[in-house]
Structure 1
Amino acid sequence: MSSITEPSGNSGSAPFFSKQATVAKPGFSRWMVPPAALAVHLCIGQAYAFSVFNGPLTKVIGITQSSADDWSLTSLGWIFSLAIVFLGLSAAFAGKWLERVGPRRTMLTAACCFGGGFLVSALGVYLHQIVLLYLGYGVIGGIGLGLGYVSPVSTLIRWFPDRRGMATGMAIMGFGGGAMIAAPLSVALMNHFRSATSIGVAETFVVLGIAYFISMTIGALAIRVPPADWKPAGWTPSATSQSKMISRNHVHIDQALKTPQFYLIWLVLFLNVTAGIGILGQASVMIQESFKDTVSAAAAAGFVGLLSLFNMGGRFVWASASDWIGRKNTYFIFFALGAVLYYLVPGFAASGHIALFVLAYCVILTMYGGGFSTVPAYLADMFGTAFVGGIHGRLLTAWAAAGVAGPVLVNYIRAYEVAQGVAKADAYTMTVHIMAVLLVVGFVCNLLVKRVDDKHHMTDAQLAKGA
């Protein structure tokens, strides 16, 4: 267990929520930081479980069944979409601010936005004004998602230069696993508050908003950053550098946008996420249509739960493995293995091999989750750690774009195939083959990633000024 061996400067006299006040004092263990990050990521991971509210929200007025004045699923679908869009936008545009004010203030702001978004949404349910749900969970909550996602990750990277992948995997695994807590908790709360005049959603939103605010605030208060030039005891960069791709220099957040590496890694993340997110959203329907009269709705729900487990586990396993085999090689595996599996899946379905079908998608989902957790370490390797939080935030626009592209590809191509008379069991063949092609393109983009040119590196004087 490594601890601080340098003095922490004058952080004791700095304002409590300033960046200087979060500098760790001598004796502080870096292993206290992952729990602080998880306190945030387990909360914002609730986003993956928001669909449990869709059904009840269509019966706010009718209570037992939808009435003519109730909201439609189509209208409700925009709540989650807005949240993901504002996740990407807030992460991108708040990058410089994050680096300037530090993780504590950013995480507290995330707590206020995410928790407050639930409260505004609760008011929207009570008044039956869907605009307030768009504003509350979609816009305000989405901003909380973005700020809460990037700030702990950039801090972990600085604390674990020797295990960047493992560190980011620990936090982002929490984001993937947050839904496993949020889904049953939300259902239990709605059942508790349900009455003859209420479906229990507004009350559930209030409880969740307060609980998430408290948990995220605890994480914000516990977070610490290492002193300048801190390194783990006994560690030197050359001891763990698995390739020449790991830079010891730093690139400013604005300068990073002038490098081809940023856009290539943007495409790497976009293509990996696009190939997974559309399938994740249609997993239940897909397995039932691929194995008609064989897989029940209950079994399909189990399949979705299994995919979530592999999605979560892959975030830690693959990111940790990248510390040993390198980030670029990890993505090579994602794209090569993923393309092969997508190509084979239709054959598994046609031959009735359910076990192989399920196994293939479980492996694919580990790589989908692993893509999220490995990319922050990839960016730190390429651009250094000084501005990695802001650079990571801007890269997350790839997630927002993939969140639209993936479902559109799956849903519209399937609809087109069915309209052309293709059996539903075969309607996904073209889709998954297109996903395989996208992964091949991703393989090429990853291949083109090279070390950042020295002209983009910051000088010592620039680093000292933070400019």
Structure 2
Amino acid sequence: MSSIIEPGGNASPPFFSKQATIAQPGFSRWMVPPAALAVHLCIGQAYAFSVFNGPLTKVIGITQSAPDDWSLTTLGWIFSLAIVCLGLSAAFAGKWLEKVGPRRTMFTAACCFGGGFIISALGVWMHQIALLYLGYGVIGGIGLGLGYVSPVSTLIRWFPDRRGMATGMAIMGFGGGAMIAAPLSVALMNHFKSATSIGVAETFIVLGIAYFISMSIGALAIRVPPADWKPAGWTPPATTTQKMITRNHVHIDEALKTPQFYLIWLVLFLNVTAGIGILGQASVMIQESFKDTVTAAAAAGFVGLLSLFNMGGRFVWASASDYVGRKNTYFIFFALGAVLYWLVPSFAASGNIALFVLCYCVILSMYGGGFSTVPAYLADMFGTAFVGGIHGRLLTAWAAAGVAGPVLVNYIRAYQVANGVAKADAYTMTVHIMTVLLVIGFVCNLLVKRVNDKHHMTDAQLASGK
């Protein structure tokens, strides 16, 4: 887009450029969190994609699966591809995000995520699974990654006094997006369902358009603060070893040369691994732990409760970290999580459903809190200049945990059952392994120290962005 020459002769910057998003005097920073939520509530749909799996096994048969219909194992790769592409796009697009700014990145995310649904709809109509892999899995996954990281660094710059709360607000949207998407998707499929269609393709079209519009509105509304802006009446805290909040900045590439990056990578990986596997098997787990006591309907309610704590924990724990510190917050995650995991088998054995549920609710709140607290942790350690890109690269820990967590839970359980262990006891070894992982995470967090001054950018480097 070419620049516009104003009557005074000054050229205005291109609409999607980073310069065009610099806020004018009088702009309220509280307009930024809704713009971020407009994106995160949409991409949070990823957690609800499973509602399409059943109907997609009946595209040809309509009322029941036909021989040529897709199997659940075939469909499972759609979500897996999306999560892998989320992590990869977030990691590799970090530098681009810092260069072009949040508006262009968020609009690109809207095009990819919305467009992925449209391509997937074509795949359903043509019954070509490759188009679903490409549409939702690859292109939609890229939209997920770009949409996830693009508002984060902007929020941190607008809220240097409340970094945790700011990122918690946005990332809470990702955790809660499924609560909107799941019933909406089911309602749309029921509306479009007919004797010749299961309604998935039409639902994909509607969702693709709706998500594109919502995410585009967020992209248009986003603003970045002027250089050296700070909230009225706020004084930046002095750098101390205790708080570990730096006033310097570390370049994306230089951050990869520090031990702090890899320690925080392990902190996120271990925290997510301990939660994501349980989240995926929650319904089966509680039914097998309390056989003949917990019904399928009650188990579904348990899953919904875990989702609420996952979402709420993203805001509550991240906000609390503004007061107790990011490192101390992760100490709580690992210490309390390890204790709760160790106690869970005894609660199951004694038939205490209430304490069993309470333990997992707290665990899942800390799982969500780990996602929302880590961007502020990175800003404390590496500064805010390149935190979006650094956060993107750190999200590879999420992709790795997304494989490790379910593998630990599913395969260890299968091994136990195959060797004669009762299903009600098959999760004991798993949760004890999770306890060990959390203890390791506690040690990794303990080892995090301030970044050595040699990694800090000079004023000249900061001005050039190199």
| TM-score bracket relative to the smaller structure | over 0.9
Moved more, 454-463 or 237-246: 237-246
Give per-residue Cα distances to partners, 1:161-193, cap 9 Å, x unaligned: 000000000000000000000000000000000
Structure 1 residue 9: deviation in Å? Answer: 15
> 1:1-400 alignment to 2 at 5 Å?
13-238=12-237, 243-400=242-399
SS at match of 1:389: helix
- Change in Cα spacing, 1:239 to 1:29, as seen in structure 2 (3 Å) is farther
Give per-residue Cα distances to partners, 1:203-262, cap 9 Å, x unaligned: 000000000000000000000000001000010112898934100000000000000000
Give per-residue Cα distances to partners, 1:31-57, cap 9 Å, x unaligned: 000000000000000000000001111
CA distance in structure 1 between the aligned counterparts of 2:294 and 2:268, rounded to whole angstroms: 32
CA distance in structure 2 between the aligned counterparts of 1:462 and 1:9, rounded to whole angstroms: 32
User: TM-score, normalization: structure 1?
Assistant: 0.97
CA distance in structure 1 between the aligned counterparts of 2:219 and 2:449, rounded to whole angstroms: 36
CA distance in structure 2 between the aligned counterparts of 1:462 and 1:373, rounded to whole angstroms: 29
Give per-residue Cα distances to partners, 1:270-317, cap 9 Å, x unaligned: 000000000000000000000000000000000000000000000000
**Percent identity over paired residues:** 91
Structure 1 residue 8: deviation in Å? Answer: 17
- Change in Cα spacing, 1:414 to 1:221, as seen in structure 2 (3 Å) is same
CA distance in structure 2 between the aligned counterparts of 1:10 and 1:349, rounded to whole angstroms: 71
CA distance in structure 2 between the aligned counterparts of 1:246 and 1:5, rounded to whole angstroms: 43
CA distance in structure 2 between the aligned counterparts of 1:335 and 1:242, rounded to whole angstroms: 21
- Change in Cα spacing, 1:366 to 1:29, as seen in structure 2 (3 Å) is same
- Change in Cα spacing, 1:424 to 1:5, as seen in structure 2 (3 Å) is farther
- Change in Cα spacing, 1:26 to 1:74, as seen in structure 2 (3 Å) is same
CA distance in structure 2 between the aligned counterparts of 1:117 and 1:183, rounded to whole angstroms: 18
SS at match of 2:14: coil
CA distance in structure 2 between the aligned counterparts of 1:151 and 1:351, rounded to whole angstroms: 47
CA distance in structure 1 between the aligned counterparts of 2:161 and 2:397, rounded to whole angstroms: 27
1:165/1:321 contact within 8 Å kept: yes
Give per-residue Cα distances to partners, 1:113-148, cap 9 Å, x unaligned: 000000000000111111111100000000000000
1:256/1:262 contact within 8 Å kept: yes
- Change in Cα spacing, 1:237 to 1:3, as seen in structure 2 (3 Å) is farther
2:309/2:361 contact within 8 Å kept: yes
- Change in Cα spacing, 1:217 to 1:336, as seen in structure 2 (3 Å) is same
- Change in Cα spacing, 1:3 to 1:295, as seen in structure 2 (3 Å) is farther
1:117/1:209 contact within 8 Å kept: yes
2:239/2:245 contact within 8 Å kept: no
Structure 1 residue 361: deviation in Å? Answer: 0.2
1:327/1:377 contact within 8 Å kept: yes
- Change in Cα spacing, 1:412 to 1:227, as seen in structure 2 (3 Å) is same
- Change in Cα spacing, 1:162 to 1:241, as seen in structure 2 (3 Å) is farther
- Change in Cα spacing, 1:2 to 1:38, as seen in structure 2 (3 Å) is farther
After TM superposition, what 4+ stretches of structure 1 lie above 3 angstroms from structure 2?
Answer: 1-11, 239-244
CA distance in structure 2 between the aligned counterparts of 1:51 and 1:120, rounded to whole angstroms: 18
- Change in Cα spacing, 1:8 to 1:205, as seen in structure 2 (3 Å) is farther
Give per-residue Cα distances to partners, 1:72-102, cap 9 Å, x unaligned: 1111111001000000000000000000000
Structure 1 residue 3: deviation in Å? Answer: 27
CA distance in structure 1 between the aligned counterparts of 2:396 and 2:143, rounded to whole angstroms: 15
1:242/1:325 contact within 8 Å kept: no
Structure 1 residue 67: deviation in Å? Answer: 1.0
1:4/1:226 contact within 8 Å kept: no
1:406 and 2:382 are equivalent in the alignment: no
C-alpha RMSD of matched pairs (Å): 3.6
- Long gaps (5+) in structure 2: none
CA distance in structure 1 between the aligned counterparts of 2:409 and 2:70, rounded to whole angstroms: 25
2:272/2:370 contact within 8 Å kept: yes
- Change in Cα spacing, 1:97 to 1:79, as seen in structure 2 (3 Å) is same
2:283/2:296 contact within 8 Å kept: yes
CA distance in structure 2 between the aligned counterparts of 1:332 and 1:3, rounded to whole angstroms: 50
CA distance in structure 2 between the aligned counterparts of 1:173 and 1:289, rounded to whole angstroms: 30
2:3/2:14 contact within 8 Å kept: no
2:4/2:13 contact within 8 Å kept: no
2:94/2:392 contact within 8 Å kept: yes
1:166/1:320 contact within 8 Å kept: yes
1:8/1:25 contact within 8 Å kept: no
Q: How many residues align structurally?
A: 466
Structure 1 residue 416: deviation in Å? Answer: 0.2
Moved more, 60-69 or 205-214: 60-69
2:171/2:371 contact within 8 Å kept: yes
- Change in Cα spacing, 1:371 to 1:6, as seen in structure 2 (3 Å) is farther
CA distance in structure 1 between the aligned counterparts of 2:345 and 2:460, rounded to whole angstroms: 57
1:3/1:26 contact within 8 Å kept: no
CA distance in structure 1 between the aligned counterparts of 2:301 and 2:332, rounded to whole angstroms: 27
Structure 1 residue 10: deviation in Å? Answer: 8.1
- Long gaps (5+) in structure 1: none
CA distance in structure 1 between the aligned counterparts of 2:176 and 2:365, rounded to whole angstroms: 13
- Change in Cα spacing, 1:222 to 1:439, as seen in structure 2 (3 Å) is same
Structure 1 residue 2: deviation in Å? Answer: 33
- Change in Cα spacing, 1:308 to 1:124, as seen in structure 2 (3 Å) is same
Structure 1 residue 340: deviation in Å? Answer: 0.5
> 1:410-449 alignment to 2 at 5 Å?
410-449=409-448
CA distance in structure 1 between the aligned counterparts of 2:437 and 2:406, rounded to whole angstroms: 14
SS at match of 1:414: helix
2:2/2:14 contact within 8 Å kept: no
Moved more, 233-242 or 93-102: 233-242
CA distance in structure 1 between the aligned counterparts of 2:3 and 2:132, rounded to whole angstroms: 45
Give per-residue Cα distances to partners, 1:368-400, cap 9 Å, x unaligned: 000000000000000000000000000000000
1:61/1:67 contact within 8 Å kept: yes
